[in-house]
Amino acid sequence: MDLVINILFGLIVAFFLINKFMPVKGVKQISTSDLKKELKRKDVQFIDVRTPGEFSRNKINTFKNIPLHELSQKGSQLSKEKEVVVICQSGMRSNKATKLLRKMGFQKITNVKGGMSAWN
């Protein structure tokens, strides 16, 4: 009986961990090399969800800083008609941001895999 409970508990934990780190359905994933091509586009909103301190130390000029913890309040500043490209330091916060943007009704969302760590 204990073995069954331990297996079930392990499966539940694994499910939640996998679900947390999986890309959001319907969100495009691009590499930093793909991002270099995208930066020339004028019809895209580029959002960096790192803290202001992180952003000021190392940034891509095309990106606007909206920290993840402020995205739900400041998301109204973004157009739902335009694509949103999101970056952070490693890809974790930007993945969370894509989930939040989906819940807010955004349809065209792109996450930069590896974030600024992969950019440098």
**Range 86-111 average pLDDT:** 95
User: Is the predicted pLDDT of residue 62 greater than 90, yes or no?
Assistant: yes
User: Is the predicted pLDDT of residue 16 greater than 90, yes or no?
Assistant: no
Supply the mean pLDDT for the chain. Answer: 89
Set 47, 71, 84, 88: catalytic member: 88
Q: Examine the residue annotation and report whether 88 is marked as an active-site residue of this protein.
A: yes
Contact 102, 24 (CB under 8 A): yes
DSSP state of 76: G
Taking the C-alpha atoms of residue 30 and residue 112, their distance in angstroms, rounded to an integer, is 5
Taking the C-alpha atoms of residue 3 and residue 98, their distance in angstroms, rounded to an integer, is 38
Q: What is the pLDDT of residue 2?
A: 78
Helices marked H in 25-91: 32-38, 52-57, 71-74
Residue for token pair 């993840």: 68
Q: The whole model's pTM is what?
A: 0.80
Domains of the chain: 25-119 (3.40.250.10)
Q: What is the pLDDT of residue 106?
A: 95
User: Is the predicted pLDDT of residue 23 greater than 60, yes or no?
Assistant: no
Q: What is the pLDDT of residue 4?
A: 73
User: Is the predicted pLDDT of residue 14 greater than 80, yes or no?
Assistant: no
**Range 33-59 average pLDDT:** 95
User: Is the predicted pLDDT of residue 71 greater than 90, yes or no?
Assistant: yes
Residue 33 to residues 29, 39, 40, 85, Cα–Cα distance (Å): 12, 10, 13, 14
Taking the C-alpha atoms of residue 98 and residue 109, their distance in angstroms, rounded to an integer, is 7
